[in-house]
């Protein structure tokens, strides 16, 4: 179930790939990075680190994946949504920074995860565009957030086994951004990502 506010969104922005590179505007670019709704040419792909995207990381049903949404530079870009790219990683990979060879396309993802991508690409608040709740990361255990979020650079002392169990306990989808965690089960996420380990849910996470 998705939020009724999505009804005014033009989904055609994701129905096909734009014919021009969103950064330089070259038509029918030689493929570099292929995104959800665009292809960056080879030259712009090599220089994409000069651009600052809006980012999110999704722990999803089929896989975990990064979302990068960039402001289009070329005046040939005429879509409601910004150019957006995803990078799927294996469910078993606990490091969000680990890239993979997974061949998972936007169309393969569940509808609720596609709506998350649309929210990021339209600069909308994820909790306004979907049925997910917003939890500020400052309200959660910093060590556990540091371990699970690619946007936290602080050190932590959790083992890889502990991290795997924390990830397995997350409801799907759970979305990490720089300042928030979005989820369809706020109680479960708060239980998993807090340091007080009481009750049967937390008992499975202790002793590691």
Spell out the per-residue pLDDT of the chain, length 208, in tens.
333 343 344 555 676 888 999 999 999 878 788 899 999 999 999 999 999 999 999 999 988 999 999 999 999 998 889 999 998 776 654 444 444 445 678 888 999 999 999 999 999 999 988 999 999 999 998 889 999 998 886 778 888 899 999 999 999 999 999 999 999 999 999 999 986 443 333 334 444 3
Q: Are residues 4 and 104 in the same domain?
A: yes
Whether 193 is covered by a domain: the verdict is yes
Whether 46 is covered by a domain: the verdict is no
C-alpha 154: how far from its chain's center? Answer: 20
Q: Are residues 141 and 167 in the same domain?
A: yes
| Coil vs helix vs strand at 207 | coil
Whether 200 is covered by a domain: the verdict is yes
Beta carbons of 92 and 164 less than 8 angstroms apart: yes
Among 131, 155, 178, the domain-final residue is 131
First to last CA, the chain: 36
Q: Are residues 127 and 202 in the same domain?
A: no
DSSP state of 109: S
Spell 109-121 as b/e; 16+ CB within 10 A means b. beebbbbbbbbbb
Beta carbons of 62 and 42 less than 8 angstroms apart: no
pTM: 0.83
Whether 23 is covered by a domain: the verdict is no
Q: Are residues 93 and 8 in the same domain?
A: yes
Total residue length of the chain? 208
Name the phi and psi angles at 27, rounded to 5: -75, 145
In whole angstroms, how large is the CA radius of gyration of the chain? Answer: 18
| Coil vs helix vs strand at 194 | coil
Among 97, 115, 131, the domain-final residue is 131
Q: Are residues 84 and 164 in the same domain?
A: no
Whether 155 is covered by a domain: the verdict is yes
C-alpha 50: how far from its chain's center? Answer: 20
Closest CA to 63 of 33, 93, 83, 98: 93
Whether 43 is covered by a domain: the verdict is no
**Total domain count for the chain?**
2
Among 79, 110, 131, the domain-final residue is 131
What per-residue confidence (pLDDT) applies to 87? Answer: 86
Longest dimension (CA), the chain: 58
What per-residue confidence (pLDDT) applies to 129? Answer: 87
What per-residue confidence (pLDDT) applies to 29? Answer: 78
Q: Which domain holds residue 113?
A: 1-16+52-131
């Amino acid at each position: 179930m998705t939020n009724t506010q999505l009804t005014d969104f033009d989904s055609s922005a994701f129905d096909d790939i734009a014919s021009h590179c969103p950064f330089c505007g070259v038509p029918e670019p030689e493929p570099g990075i292929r995104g959800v709704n665009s292809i960056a040419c080879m030259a712009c792909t090599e220089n994409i680190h000069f651009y600052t995207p809006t980012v999110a990381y999704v722990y999803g049903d089929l896989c975990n994946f990064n979302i990068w949404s960039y402001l289009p530079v070329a005046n040939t870009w005429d879509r409601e949504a910004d150019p957006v790219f995803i990078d799927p990683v294996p469910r078993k990979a606990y490091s969000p920074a680990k890239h993979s060879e997974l061949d998972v396309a936007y169309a393969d993802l569940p509808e609720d995860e596609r709506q998350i991508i649309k929210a990021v690409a339209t600069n909308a608040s994820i909790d306004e565009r979907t049925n997910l709740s917003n939890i500020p990361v400052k309200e959660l255990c910093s060590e556990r957030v540091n371990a699970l979020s690619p946007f936290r650079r602080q050190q932590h002392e959790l083992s890889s086994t502990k991290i795997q169990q924390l990830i397995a306990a997350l409801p799907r989808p759970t979305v990490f951004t720089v300042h928030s965690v979005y989820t369809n089960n706020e109680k479960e996420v708060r239980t998993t990502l807090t340091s007080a380990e009481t009750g049967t849910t937390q008992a499975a996470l202790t002793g590691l």
